[in-house]
């Protein structure tokens, strides 16, 4: 029962923090990280261990879906050029660079090096959401 109470308290805290983030016009993920660090530093906080598989299968897909759901095609048309540049410059190029270095410097096969590059050069949907929400950030 203690685990359920802890999770419930964290959900309530996250809701309150997200509400204040919206009111103060601060990106919610940044404020949530600060709140999480604050909670982790409190004495007596129970240690919670979450496997990377749980994050990848349970936490990440809803976050990506929520970011994609908030983005309309009309809004994406406004910022498609800078988003395209960022996709190539900040996702594909680092993925290719990591893949090339991993393939050359380690005994990894090329397919495994490509997987490593793709994992390490993951996208940041929050950046696209912020760009669209701010009207393109002056791009275009």
- Find where tokens 């604050």 sit: 38
> How far out from the chain centre does Cα 63 lie?
8
Q: Which residue has the higher pLDDT, 82 or 140?
A: 82
- Find where tokens 């419930």 sit: 8
Report the pLDDT averaged over residues 59-84.
78
pTM over cut 0.75: no
pLDDT value at residue 139: 46
Domain residue ranges of the chain, discontinuous segments joined by +: 1-49, 52-140
């Amino acid at each position: 029962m203690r685990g359920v109470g802890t999770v419930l308290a964290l959900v309530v805290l996250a809701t309150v923090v997200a509400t204040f983030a919206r009111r103060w016009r601060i990106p919610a993920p940044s404020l949530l990280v600060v709140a999480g660090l604050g909670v982790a530093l409190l004495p007596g906080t129970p240690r919670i261990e979450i496997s990377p598989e749980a994050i990848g299968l349970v936490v990440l897909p809803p976050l990506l879906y929520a970011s994609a759901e908030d983005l309309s095609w009309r809004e994406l048309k406004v910022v498609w050029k800078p988003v395209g540049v960022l996709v190539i410059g900040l996702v594909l190029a680092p993925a290719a660079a990591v893949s090339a270095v991993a393939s050359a410097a380690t005994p990894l096969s090329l397919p495994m090096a490509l997987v490593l590059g793709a994992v390490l050069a993951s996208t940041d949907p929050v950046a696209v959401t912020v760009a669209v929400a701010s009207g393109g950030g002056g791009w275009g």
